[in-house]
Copies of this chain bind each other. A is one copy, B any other.
Amino acid sequence: MKPTVHDIARSAGVSLATVDRVLNGRPGVRRVTRQKVEGAIVALGYVRDVAAANLAKGRTYGFTFILPGNDNSFMIGLADEVRTAMARSIPERTHIRIVDVPPFDPAALVAALEAVLEAPPSGVAFVAIDSPEVRAMTARLAAAGIPTVTLVSDIPDSGRDHYAGIDNIAAGRTAASLMGRFLGRRPATVAVLAGSMLVRDHRERLEGFSTVIREAFPEIVILPVLEGRDDPALAEMLIAEALRQNPQIGGMYSLGAGNRGLIRALATIERGERPLVIAHELTTSTRTALAGGLIDAVLNQDAGHEVRSAIRVLKAKADGLPVLAAQERIRIDIFLKDNLP
């Protein structure tokens, strides 16, 4: 039979309370006693029953999700997924709070993170902005012992515990590879629409994309990046303007959000004249555009996976447990019109 705390207590000749103290690294145990208990633990091959422990503790996890209030389907969908997770809060023993911040605003994000310190939750997840202030604030959270997970966009070297999102360099490289191969070695001009170079995910996608185009598809010319702030209206304007200035655009890589605007602009182009388009994030609008031939490929990250993964990781960190790396890797989904789910 699986050994329990009782077995350890008996084998070490101590009480349950003492076993518990050793198990949880609490103070107030003489070194010799501690060693006896630790000996019994390894001798018996004890593994703690986390469910029973949580039951006894009446443990609940308070998590704060800080999300940018963008007006785009991806961020709206992300927030929806967090709310879906909130609906499961009773069986999962979580208590989740959503904090809204203005998008692409480092100061606002820093303020939101700082506010978290007032009443420290069991963990914090946030969409990172890559700035020194945010980095420093994240380090303060880490110093305060609050587990942190970056969501969608990472900020390395900040002391954050985990990143729940895709490898954006690989995503950009993949987009370039598809673009180059779909264009079939013909010289072409390609436009790139981003949200903001302030966020790392967009910068990395651009970097991956540019690298592969340069190395493997030198016949392709990339126009200067358009920054649409993931705002559909602004994106539409920028794309329309770019098409006016460069009617010969043969390909388009939309590496941020705000694709509703892009799609509206594409719809004005004659069928047959349309550029090859690769976009990110499968939403109602990109799905329709993919099915209808306005978009040729969509790279996607599953917001539901990211949220569930963030919660699992925050729980594990809060309990000092290891995370199952293979399970938590968020993959880049590639959708063509033929494998739409």
Contact = CB atoms under 8 A, between A and B. Distances in A.
A54 B50 CA distance: 12
Interface string A115-126: 000000000000
Nearest to A308: B327
Contact of A182 (B91, B181, B326, B329): B181
Contact of A174 (B174, B176, B182, B336): B336
A171 B339 contact: yes
Given A51-B51, A54-B51, A91-B47, A177 B2 contact: no
A91 B52 CA distance: 11
Interface string A321-341: 000001101011110111111
A337 B177 CA distance: 9
The interface size bin for chain A is 35 or more
A338 B50 contact: no
B90 A336 contact: no
B173 A338 contact: yes
B333 A331 contact: yes
Main secondary structure of the interface of A (DSSP, over half): helix
Contacts of A171: 339
A202 to B, nearest CB: 17
B91 A338 contact: no
Nearest to A182: B181
B55 A51 contact: yes
Interface string A30-54: 0000000000000000010111101
B55 A170 contact: no
B55 A167 contact: no
A338 B177 contact: yes
A222 interface: no
Contacts of A331: 302, 331, 333, 341
A159 interface: no
A184 interface: yes
Interface in A284-341: 302, 304, 308, 326-327, 329, 331-334, 336-341
User: Nearest 8 pairs between A and B by C-beta?
Assistant: A173-B338, A184-B184, A334-B334, A51-B51, A174-B339, A170-B339, A177-B338, A177-B336
26 contacts: A47-B90, A50-B91, A51-B51, A51-B55, A55-B55, A170-B338, A170-B340, A171-B339, A174-B338, A176-B338, A177-B337, A178-B336, A181-B181, A184-B184, A184-B185, A208-B338, A212-B338, A304-B326, A304-B327, A308-B327, A329-B341, A331-B333, A331-B341, A332-B339, A333-B333, A334-B334
Interface of A: 2, 47, 49-52, 54-55, 90-91, 167, 170-171, 173-174, 176-178, 181-182, 184-185, 208, 212, 302, 304, 308, 326-327, 329, 331-334, 336-341
